[in-house]
Structure 1
């Protein structure tokens, strides 16, 4: 499927790259006007652009007959400064530090405007609203934070969320690992972990994952913790007043540890990530189920063999869980 360019009316000097997949079946003219159309939107992390969803979409298309339901319209896109979107966010031009040129609230406003324009141009919805359009988000990493903020900001619009390895939005990542300066003979390290391991892990977190570290996209994470201070709230509202369907999937502990070891150049044991980071992330994932009603949450589950970018590491689990969400929303 070829990508297209779109100019948001709110940012007329820049263009976004997007890909739109029409629904697998056309909407019959006899369909009641009260029946909303569905738009499935994939939201990228910082490291993986819209092309990272291609394996999932292709597998979804080839296996949809097993789902016993038609596929809704699908949208992927690259944010400003990411992937095939060559334009920078116009806000970056006047920023003291372009790597922190705009924040997730800016990305949220862009997403909302994009949805409005795609609904108008591709779904023939002149004035899209919760009665005419229901949204399903499948998101990875910081894309999960964007999905939650959208559902929070526009209540009653999001029917379901598939959250794949949600970024630890309320963490600085460094403090997850203990400070070696506090080690004493009475507080020994776990077996297989050395003070050097912990020091290197803290250094990696400080240089790569701390919210103060910018990125090529220019999407700052400095205010992420204040916007999403808790993983278990606030509660989100779907069309009809109930909570949205929410499925939470996390990375495979071993695969993630291997990724982290490679990132350190082999200088640190994977045990340090398994001991400290994995339990923190698992607790965060459990909390995410608190954003909806108990009977509408599923997980957290582990994407076996996958590191942080679940859609590339295990597209099969994404399709399986997304199929379940589509059945719940569309039936």
Structure 2
């Protein structure tokens, strides 16, 4: 595992981000793989993916890209909070995903220029590997900085345009039809809706201060907008979803019975992923595919699978 280091962004000199960086192998076509965390899991699990990818490519004599992992402000080994959150009415909603994307851009400019020795930041093949809300950041980065991202590997993306509660029918709605419950008890669904609202609704903040309140406005459509890659076409995009059975089992720990997950959540999430692949042209997309034995944190549960999918993307880009 690479050494954890710290860096201050130019616009936020009073705070430091933790990161690890591994330089690329000898190549005339430099590439940088950037790993984007979700809210609930910091950078550490990515290192198993990197290790297995390096073994895979070294065994086959293929070149290696550079690797960057990092923890956002207030996350993992970055103990400093975002300085711009000081004085926020609600520190758990101190900044939004666009602010996190701006931080990422500053970090990438510094990494590419200072650690890779490349002055033209946009000349580096950029591959974004993301999980959960990190997938929203990857999409927003690609939109804010068009023609710069060569590939995206999206692992169980956050449902960016959903409040999560609406996945389930509302037994108390005026137009409620009991057939919507598909045979499940109304009280069970009421309890699940209440639990999901307490944990996953966009109004629920987090110690990182990364607010999701406006995420549905930032990314209102799961299938767009169409992204622009650096080669005159959209980036290569692979969309991965969780394993249905594994996710249903893990969801019981959050009070969601398996029948509820299998009836409502898994189909809803899969439909979202089926649309998500459309953020690039047909010939550059793959998926959605399901991570074997992978729950929401795919990189933690199925690192070898993630390494294989990333290797496939690298072969298309390098």
Q: Same fold (TM over 0.5)?
A: yes
- Helix, strand or coil: the match of 2:136? helix
CA contact (8 A) 2:171 2:178 kept: no
SS in structure 2 at match of 1:249: strand
**TM-score, scaled to structure 2:** 0.96
Change (3 A) 1:186 1:179: closer
SS at match of 1:165: strand
Deviation at 1:154, TM superposition (A): 0.6
One of 81, 88, 98 as aligned partner of 1:105: 98
Secondary structure at the aligned position of 1:19 is classed as: strand
- Residue 179 of structure 1 is matched in structure 2 by 170
- For 1:98-125, what per-residue CA distance to the aligned partner results, in whole angstroms no more than 9, with x for missing partners? 0001111110000000000001111112
Q: Which residue of 2 aligns with 1:164?
A: 155
- 8 Å Cα contact 1:168-1:284 kept in structure 2: yes
Q: Is the 8 A contact 1:140 1:166 kept in 2?
A: yes
1:163 & 1:67 partners in 2: Cα distance?
A: 25
1:186 deviates by 5.7
Q: Counterparts of 1:197 and 1:261 in 2: how far apart (Å)? A: 13
The 1:188–1:290 alpha-carbon spacing in structure 2 relative to 1, beyond 3 Å, is closer
Change over 3 Å in CA distance of 1:240–1:261 after alignment to 2: same
Match of 2:124 among 126, 129, 133: 133
Q: CA deviation at 1:216?
A: 0.9
Instruction: State the SS of the aligned residue for 1:118.
Output: helix
Partner of 2:9: 8
Residues 153-181 of structure 1 deviation map (CA, whole Å, 9 limit, x = unaligned): 11110000000000000000011101122
Q: Report the counterpart of residue 146 of structure 1 in structure 2.
A: 137
Q: Aligned residue pairs: how many?
A: 316
Sort the Cα spacing of 1:110 and 1:181 in 2 relative to 1 into closer, same or farther, 3 A.
same
Q: Evaluate the alpha carbon distance shift between residue 185 and residue 205 of structure 1 in structure 2; reply closer, same or farther with a 3 A threshold.
A: closer
1:329 alignment partner in structure 2: 317
Q: What's the offset of the Cα at 1:269?
A: 2.0
The answer to whether the Cα contact below 8 Å between 1:67 and 1:323 also exists between their aligned partners in 2 is no
Question: How far does residue 260 in structure 1 lie from its aligned partner after superposition?
Answer: 1.2
Cα deviation, residue 3, structure 1: 0.3
Cα-to-partner distance string for 1:72-104 (whole Å, 9 max, x where unaligned):
000000000000001100121110100001111
Counterpart Cα distance in 2 of 1:96 and 1:146: 24
Query: Which whole-Å CA distance do the structure 2 matches of 1:65 and 1:135 have between them?
Result: 20
Q: Is residue 125–residue 317 contact of structure 2 (8 Å, CA) maintained in 1? A: no
Relative to structure 1, the CA distance from residue 22 to residue 197 in structure 2 (aligned partners, 3 Å threshold; closer, same or farther) is: same
Shift of 1:68: 4.4
2:21 equivalent in structure 1: 20
CA distance in 2, matches of 1:114, 1:188: 47
The answer to whether the 8 Å contact 2:92/2:207 transfers is yes
Shift of 1:196: 2.4
Instruction: List gaps (5 residues or longer) in structure 2.
Output: none
Cα separation, 2, equivalents of 1:181 and 1:274: 22
Instruction: Report SS of the residue matched to 1:5.
Output: strand
1:205 aligns with 2:206: no
SS in 2 for 1:216: coil
* Distance (whole Å) between structure 2 residues aligned to residue 58 and residue 291 of structure 1: 29
Report the Cα offset of residue 194 of structure 1. Answer: 1.8
**Distance between the aligned counterparts of 2:41 and 2:262, measured in 1?**
23
1:287 corresponds in structure 2 to 275
Relative distance call for 1:70 and 1:276 in structure 2 (3 A) is same
**Equivalent position of 2:187 in the other structure:** 196
Change (3 A) 1:230 1:194: same
Quick one: distance in 2 between partners of 1:232 and 1:188?
26
Q: How does 1:1-331 map to 2 (within 5 A)?
A: 1-23=2-24, 25-27=25-27, 31=28, 36-129=29-122, 132-182=123-173, 187=179, 189-191=181-183, 193-264=184-255, 268-330=256-318
In structure 1, list runs of 5 or more residues that go unmatched: none
Kindly indicate whether the alpha-carbon contact (under 8 Å) linking 1:18 and 1:77 is maintained by their aligned counterparts in 2.
yes
